[in-house]
């Protein structure tokens, strides 16, 4: 394995035998069973990829996709049925909530035990205890049995331990989802700093976090690797799969007696949908009706979308997202809020929908707008045509701008507070 590769998987599979009863399992262990008397469940099937040193890899997929199984194999807490796994470097993992902690031990005792398992000496743990407790911020609960902890306190302590192990590779499962917003932000700041020099495997259902934090990503579905590559492309394909699943069993729509095929782009997955309607054009215009190519000041703009209905669409919805270069959604709107009255779109009708809004002065960079034509309600709807990155524009801002956008100045006043100084 090349010296710049931290993790390498080659045709890794994990198969579980499923028995109809405990008795059948016992008979298998004692005497063996014919293959027909058991079922096999493939948690992973021929997964192969490499992670470079210093790279951050996102792992995405639905529940039951095999993400946790994959991480346990990488961490050597689970043995693959077949294939080869190579890991170079000390690895620390935050997997299942509370994993590795004894519920009867206090938080402090669990810190000693967990750190010792990872190879730290008693003196090493003593020297880092203050830093661990400071990061966890659970106060006097550190000397209480962890069985009395909330899920958030579990995460705080577990994360505080693994970030002080001097690991070369960090593996973070979705445990951070149960933490409060302040601690989650604290963890994300640490992970961004760690990612500058260390190797990170990050599992999350939040594709925005994956795109923001990771260079590449793996998409797993039912134990198979569906896509491996640049994080933004993998995340877009994963999001598109939620609607494509509906297409597989959908009956072709009829528009004036002509079948309408679902919209699927296998090459790029830049667009998808049921096909009952289609977005024909999308433009971002300034107040003079000119196409916005460069945003160098806050201004009133119009997003103009032209769409056609191939079949009758009840309760149509037209929406859009403005995203930065990392595919983070800065904002998103749709016609449900902007147009409370939503007449149906008759088959063959063509609509021109114009969203007018004040676009703030964005940080320097390239931005895209994704648009979608759907139907239904905010909570329950289908997509007839979704286009990732339908158009793009650039923004030019002051180099000193901090954050994603500049606030529009309304005023700033200084007045005496006339408050007595205590003490």
SS3 readout for 239-264: HHHHHHHHHHCCCCEEECCEEECCEE
Predicted confidence at residue 87, as pLDDT, reads 93
Q: Is the pLDDT of residue 419 over 80?
A: no
Decide if pLDDT at 258 tops 70.
no
Query: What was the pLDDT predicted at 98?
Result: 57
Confidence check: pLDDT of 267 > 50: no
Whether residue 227 is predicted with pLDDT greater than 70 in this model: the reply is yes
pLDDT of residue 33: 56
Instruction: Report pLDDT for 400.
Output: 75
Averaged over 389-413, what is the pLDDT? 80
Quick one: average pLDDT of 154-159? 87
What's the Cα-to-Cα distance from 75 to each of 5, 11, 78, 303, 376, rounded to whole Å? 16, 17, 8, 48, 44
pLDDT of residue 151 exceeding 50, the answer is yes
- Map out the domains of the chain with their CATH numbers: 53-73+90-233 (3.40.50.300), 250-401 (2.70.50.60)
Rounded CA separation 176/226 (Å): 25
> For residue 422, is pLDDT > 70?
no
Query: What 3-state DSSP class applies to 137?
Result: coil
Sorting pLDDT into bands at 50, 70 and 90, what band is 40?
confident
Cα distance between residue 216 and residue 230, in whole Å: 4
Mean pLDDT, residues 382-409 taken together: 83
**The predicted structure's pLDDT at residue 211:** 84
CB 213 within 8 A of CB 188: yes
Rounded-to-integer distance, Cα 38 and Cα 343, Å: 56
Between strands 381-395 and 294-295, the pairing is parallel
209 or 246, which is more confident?
209
How confident is residue 255, by pLDDT bands cut at 50, 70 and 90? Answer: very low
Is this structure's pTM higher than 0.85? no
Residue 37 pLDDT level (bands cut at 50, 70, 90): low
Average pLDDT of the chain, as a whole number: 83
Does the structure show a pLDDT above 90 at 229? yes
Specify the range with the lowest mean pLDDT, choosing from 19-28, 135-144, 212-221, 353-362: 19-28
Interatomic CA distance for residues 216 and 55, integer angstroms:
8
| CA 74/CA 81 separation, integer angstroms | 13
255 or 270, which is more confident: 270
Exposed/middle/buried for 24, CB within 10 Å: 0-12, 13-18, 19+?
A: middle
d(CA 81, CA 66): 14
Backbone φ and ψ of 310, nearest 5°? -80, -25
% the chain with pLDDT above 70: 84
97-111, 172-186, 210-224, 324-338: which is most confident: 210-224
Is the distance from CB of 60 to CB of 238 less than 8 angstroms?
yes
Largest CA distance in the chain: 88
**232 SS3 class:** helix
Helices 107-117, 151-162: inter-axial angle, 10-degree rounding: 40
pLDDT per residue as tens digits for the range 301-323: 999 999 999 999 988 999 999 98
Helix crossing, 151-162 with 122-136: angle to 10°?
130
Per-residue pLDDT reduced to its tens digit, 103-149: 889 999 999 998 888 888 889 999 999 999 998 888 889 999 988 98
Q: What is the dihedral of CA 215, 327, 330, 192, to 10 degrees?
A: 0
CA torsion 136-141-144-147 (nearest 10°) is -70
The pLDDT tens digits for 66-79 are 998 999 999 888 99
The pLDDT value recorded for residue 266 is: 40
């Amino acid at each position: 394995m090349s010296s710049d590769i931290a993790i390498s998987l080659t045709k890794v599979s994990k198969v579980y035998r499923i028995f109809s009863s405990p008795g059948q399992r016992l008979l298998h262990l004692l005497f063996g069973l014919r293959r027909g008397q058991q079922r096999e469940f493939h948690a992973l099937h021929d997964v192969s990829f490499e992670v470079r040193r210093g790279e951050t890899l996102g792992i995405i997929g639905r529940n039951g996709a095999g993400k946790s199984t994959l991480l346990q194999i990488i961490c050597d807490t689970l043995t693959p049925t077949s294939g080869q796994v190579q890991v170079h470097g000390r690895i620390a993992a935050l997997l299942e909530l509370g994993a590795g902690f004894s519920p009867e031990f206090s938080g402090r005792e669990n810190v000693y035990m967990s750190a010792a398992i990872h190879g730290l000496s008693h003196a090493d743990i003593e020297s880092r205890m203050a830093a661990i407790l400071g990061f966890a911020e659970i106060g006097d609960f550190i000397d209480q049995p962890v069985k009395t902890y909330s899920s958030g306190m579990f995460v705080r302590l577990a994360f505080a331990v693994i970030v002080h192990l001097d690991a070369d590779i960090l593996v973070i499962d979705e445990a951070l989802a149960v933490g409060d917003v302040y601690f989650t932000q604290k963890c994300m700041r640490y992970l961004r700093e760690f990612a500058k020099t260390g190797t990170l495997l990050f599992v999350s259902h939040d594709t925005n976090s994956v795109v923001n934090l990771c260079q590449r990503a793996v998409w797993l579905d039912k134990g198979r690797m569906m896509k491996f590559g640049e994080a933004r492309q993998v995340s877009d394909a994963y999001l598109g799969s939620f609607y494509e699943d509906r297409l597989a069993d959908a009956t072709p729509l009829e528009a004036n007696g002509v079948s309408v095929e679902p919209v699927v782009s296998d090459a790029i997955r830049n667009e998808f949908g049921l096909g009952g309607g289609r977005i024909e054009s999308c433009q971002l215009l300034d107040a003079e009706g000119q196409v916005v190519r460069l945003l160098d000041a806050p201004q009133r703009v119009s997003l103009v979308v032209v769409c056609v209905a191939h079949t009758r669409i009840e309760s149509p919805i037209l929406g859009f997202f403005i995203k930065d270069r990392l595919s983070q959604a800065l904002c998103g709107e749709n016609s449900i809020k902007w147009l409370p009255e939503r007449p149906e779109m008759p088959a063959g009708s063509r609509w021109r929908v114009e969203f007018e809004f004040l676009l703030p002065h964005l940080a320097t960079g390239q931005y895209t707008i994704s648009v979608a034509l759907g139907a239904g309600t905010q909570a329950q709807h289908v997509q007839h045509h979704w286009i990732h990155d339908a158009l793009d524009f650039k923004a030019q801002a002051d180099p000193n701008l901090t954050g994603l956008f500049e606030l529009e100045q309304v005023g700033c006043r200084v007045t005496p507070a006339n408050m007595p100084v205590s003490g």
